[in-house]
Amino acid sequence: MTDKPTAWHHLEPDDCRKQLEASADGLSNQDAQRRLEQYGPNRLPEAAKRPAWLRFLSQFHNVFIYVLLAAAVIAALLAQWVDTGVILAVVIINALIGYIQEGKAEQAMAAIGKMLALSARVRRDGQWQEIDADQLVPGDRVRLKAGDRIPADIRLTDAHDLRTDQAALTGESLSVGKNTVALDEDTELADRSNMVYSGTMATNGQGEGIVVVTGGETELGRISGMLDSVETLTTPLLNRINRFAKVLTVIILVLATAVIALGAILHGLPIREGLLAGIALAVAAIPEGLPAIITITLAIGVQQMAGRKAIIRRLPAVETLGSVTIICSDKTGTLTRNELRARALGLCDGVAHAGSADKALLKQDRDDHQRLARVAVLCNDAEPDSDSGDPLERALLELAADGEVDVAALREQHDRTHLIPFSSDHKYMASLHGQLLTVKGAPEVVLERCQTQTGQDGDQPLDADAWHERIEAMASEGLRVLALADKSIDPAPDKINGDEAVADLTLLGLVGFADPPRDEVPDAVKACQSAGIRIKMITGDNAVTARAIASELGLIKAEENALSGRDIDRLDDDELAEQVMDTHVFARTTPEHKLRLVKALQKRGQVVAMTGDGANDAPALKRADIGVAMGIKGTEASRQAAEMVLADDNFATIVGGIEEGRGVYDNIRKAVLFLLPTNGAQSLVILLAVLAGLSLPITPVQILWVNMVVAVTLALALAFEPLEGDIMKRQPRSLGQPLLSHFVVFRVVWISAVMTLGTFGLYQWLLEQSQDPALARTLAVNVLVAAQIAYLFNCRRWQAASFTPSALLSNRWAWLSVTVLIVLQLGFTYLPAAQAVFDTAAMAFDHWLLAIAFGLIIFVLVEIEKLLTRALSLRFASPEG
């Protein structure tokens, strides 16, 4: 059992030095070298990687691959080397795709390593020096300034207006002010204001501190360790294919054994001929083209999603999106813009909120508004159109610009003559411009320094109680609130004489800031909800802010509570699994919490998509059924851990991904619905021939021809099938839903039976008429192919009619594939080389008419079945039934 980690934030700086046996003046080079040998370099440990050959061989460990390899062996035993090569090529291509896409954990850990600082300023042997960050050791005294990437986990000993952006680690949308005050031992990570953490960024001020942990022991190192241990789940599609392959293998073995035994028992069939019949049945029953169709359909889905700004890193992830029942979304940068905006204005006459219809909070025709805008611009160090500087100050400039204030002209009219910068001690900033003193700061501090307030009717005595109510109301909405005030001083002083001058102010108003939702997110949320998909917000931000955003987006009702990280810690796994379905907002969460929440949802049978953009999201992204990372503002660690990356950082793109994913699965199941009747009919034809003691109507090599050619041409057309109109109105599929639903089994059985009767009947008829087995078999093959051509158009719609112009003409690939197949069948029938290989014979025109007529019969029968099931509203006839 490992010892509990030291709560460095709970210790005073001197106690930290004492525990680390370090001096206030830093370490000596000799001591630092000794510690480097003891603790190791300040970098993340690299996990042992599997050899490339083992990774490649592991791709073949799959039941369906075993079935395909068995088919290749059977084809080789029949000396059909072309077919053997095709099947083996499909297997190898699938293995290569898996091999290339594997290894996400190693890539994610390498990406986290890139977040570490490259250098650090450290005090060694009584002198400040620059060293490589991987040479830092616990006990080192380091110096930090704005723009530095934090090189290790550090307990601050000195801080001057120091702020850090730790969104990638904690998920907070705002930079966090730092100080040196010791905190309670159970203070949550995001609230540890006396600590700065490896991989985060100093955005303002400067400070010093003592390194307390390095490398794999840092908070960033813990995330890397979690990634290494997180299990990657197989996708719903692969689960269904594996189950289908196992069932199919058992059925093939049973039927092949039955054919051999029945042939010997009923008709005294020699063992050699019985084995050939058994091999023929096995070849007939295996849908050799299905893996290729699945791979191609997924690849087409990847291309279509790339056009919709979603990059898929792993093929099956396309289909997984269509299975999603819950989206666990990070708040900052995913549902919101990850940038502060003024969202509310508190004035004498109440609180006004920014709305979509009226973006500008400040009005040109109100003097009190213009006076507040003047302070927002002058008491401000940010520059217009710049991404640098304090986010609050940039948001104030945007507020003024939205109110059509000319920032440059205003500053030119009011030169700054003196400044008191913001400090965490006095909690305000004061800027002097001749006779005008402008002030902004924490509401409670500025309010104490005001005597009057301004409104539409001019200045009046301050109503402190009313302002306190406004402050509380705005804070309860999750807003970060600043107060703005001014004062006219006559005569104009040369400088501001400390706190004495910053008094008797006039309060102009309050500005509430928040990280607003992305414009497109509300519609995307509604689309997900209408598709039966629930959204849960999991954020490192505080509960008040999280609930406010969730309520604005329609994720929760106003009275619903959020579950905090501390609440999660008090629940065991079973209790968490009980509560997780009824809670929609989780606040102050750590990487461990996010991982536990994803596992709890999966324990409840949910297919979970996890979105995020920070390194703190990476373990949960990897564990989720599908991880979705932000491509622009997301960290490299999150992108490498995810299956899908949004190139536009747009949450709404996920909706398009879900739609495409459902369409991909729809088309794969249509391909199954299309291919299996051919396999079923061929198997039944062989079984019927053996039972009747007759010659085989179709030979094994002809079976392979039909299986591969039909798959490559007709079934491939289904991969390009457009989305059906109701696809986003369906409920998510159940995890337990098999690849072969009741509807698919019903359709496959009766179509196989009809095809068998037609093929066997016409074969026997022509054999009796011509006494030419080659000609009869050629007709049997073309009857099967004609039936498949007609059935293709039935399968392009689950239950909608297939004879409408929109259904017949919406997929040009279907007609192209039919044309190619007709050309191939003509070659199969008439070319001398094909006749020699496949034992075929030239057919007369009336034989073709028989094949075409049988295909039309199949088309009409299936359309009648659709009509009856629509009229009876049979549930099992739905795609999910």
Q: Checking DSSP bridges between strand 428-433 and strand 418-420, what pairing results, if any?
A: antiparallel
Of 17-26, 78-87, 420-429, 672-681, which range is least confident? 78-87
Task: Give DSSP secondary structure letters for 430-443.
Answer: EEEETTEEEEEE-H
Residues of the chain above pLDDT 90, percent: 41
Pairwise pLDDT comparison (386 vs 134), residue with the higher score: 134
In this structure, are residues 515 and 339 in contact, taking their beta carbons and an 8 Å threshold?
yes
Q: Give me the pLDDT at residue 712, please.
A: 67
Distance CA 287, CA 74 (A): 14
- Helices 652-692 and 290-306, axial angle in degrees (round to 10): 170
End-to-end Cα spacing for the chain: 51
Q: What DSSP character marks residue 418?
A: E
Using the predicted structure, report yes or no on whether residue 467 has a pLDDT greater than 50: yes
Q: What is the 3-state secondary structure (H, E, C) of 309-355?
A: CEEECCCCHHHHHHHCCEEEECHHHHHECCCCEEEEEEECCEEEECC
CB hemisphere CA count around 129 (13 angstroms): 15
CA–CA distance, 864 with 846 (Å, rounded to integer): 27
Pairing of strands 310-312, 644-646: antiparallel
DSSP string, 786-851: HHHHHHHHHHTSSSS-SSSHHHHHS-HHHHHHHHHHHHHHHHHHH-HHHHHHH---PPPHHHHHHH
CB-CB neighbours of 426 under 10 Å = 16
Instruction: Reduce the DSSP state of residue 212 to 3 states and report it.
Output: strand
Averaged pLDDT for residues 613-642: 81
CA distance 291 to 78: 22
CA dihedral sign of residues 591, 597, 603, 607: negative
Token pair of 842 as six digits: 């030239």
Selected residue with higher pLDDT from 366 and 80 = 366
- Residue 652 exposure: Cα atoms within 13 Å on the Cβ side: 13
- Per the model's pLDDT, the better-predicted residue between 388 and 715 turns out to be 715
pLDDT for residue 109? 39
Q: Comparing 860 with 301, which gets the higher pLDDT?
A: 860
The pLDDT of residue 481: 95
Query: What span, in angstroms and rounded, lies between the C-alpha atoms of 546 and 553?
Result: 11
Please, which residues have CB within 8 angstroms of residue 205's CB and are 6 or more apart in sequence? 145, 146, 159, 160, 161, 162, 163, 178
pLDDT band at 816, cuts 50/70/90?
very high
| pLDDT on residue 75 | 63
pLDDT band at 116 (very low <50, low <70, confident <90, very high): very low
pLDDT at 235: 60
Cα(782)–Cα(845) distance, rounded to whole angstroms? 13
Question: Which residue is associated with the tokens 């709305």?
Answer: 355
pLDDT score recorded for residue 74: 67
Torsion sign over Cα 706, 709, 710, 715? positive
Q: Which residues pair with 341 in a beta bridge?
A: 514
Instruction: Single out the catalytic residue among 83, 140, 148, 330.
Output: 330
**What does the pLDDT look like over 776-812, one tens digit per residue?**
999 999 999 999 999 999 988 877 888 888 778 888 8
Paired residues of 178 in beta bridges: none
Angle of the 700-710 helix axis to the 81-101 helix axis, nearest 10: 40
381 pLDDT above the threshold of 90: yes
Give residues with Cβ within 8 angstroms of 849, minimum separation 6: none
Count Cβ atoms within 10 A of the Cβ of residue 115 and give its class: 0-12 exposed, 13-18 middle, 19 or more buried.
buried
On the question of pLDDT at 130 being above 70, the answer is yes
Span 255-277, pLDDT tens digits: 888 888 888 888 787 776 777 67
Distance CA 540, CA 773 (A): 75
* Cβ neighbour number for residue 384 with a 10 Å cutoff: 14
- What one-letter code names the amino acid at 405? V
> Is the pLDDT reported for residue 232 higher than 70?
no
Q: Which tokens in the block code for residue 777?
A: 């078999």
Two structure tokens written together for 94:
């699938």
pLDDT of the residue at 355: 60
- Would you state the structure tokens that stand for residue 407, as one six-digit string? 């920032």
Q: Which of 425-434, 545-554, 625-634, 830-839 has the lowest mean pLDDT?
A: 625-634
CA distance 639 to 623: 14
Confidence band of 358 (pLDDT split at 50, 70, 90): very low
Can 367 be counted among the known catalytic residues?
A: no
pLDDT of 105 strictly over 50: no
For residue 51, say if its preceding peptide bond is cis, omega within 30 degrees of 0. no
Is the pLDDT at 82 greater than 80, yes or no? no
Helix or strand holding residue 134 (H, E): none
CB 659 within 8 A of CB 310: no
- Note the pLDDT of residue 103: 46
pLDDT, tens digit (0-9, with 9 covering 90-100), for 312-326: 877 777 778 888 999
Could you tell me how many residues make up the chain? 881
| Contact predicate 158/316, CB 8 Å | no
Gap between the Cα atoms of 77 and 367, Å rounded: 93
Rounded to whole angstroms, the Cα distance separating 640 from 107 reads: 6
Q: What is the mean pLDDT of residues 15-24?
A: 94
Residue range 21-33: mean pLDDT, rounded: 94
pLDDT of residue 100: 62
| pLDDT cut 70: percent of the chain above it | 89
Q: Give 3-state DSSP helix, strand, coil % of the chain, rounded to 5.
A: 55, 15, 30
2 band by pLDDT with thresholds 50, 70 and 90: very low
Q: What is the mean pLDDT of the chain?
A: 85
Place of tokens 């934030």: 9
Give yes or no for residue 283 having a pLDDT over 80.
no
Q: Which helix (H) or strand (E) holds 500?
A: helix 498-501
Q: Is 54 exposed, middle or buried (0-12, 13-18, 19+ CB in 10 A)?
A: exposed
Identify whether the C-beta of residue 163 lies closer than 8 Å to the C-beta of residue 328. Answer: no
Residue 356 has pLDDT above 50, yes or no: no
On the CB side of 631, how many CA atoms lie within 13 Å of its CA?
Answer: 17
Maximum average pLDDT range among 454-458, 558-562, 679-683, 846-850: 846-850
Q: Is the pLDDT of residue 170 over 90?
A: no
Q: How many CB atoms lie within 10 A of CB 747?
A: 25
Q: Is the pLDDT of residue 342 over 50?
A: yes
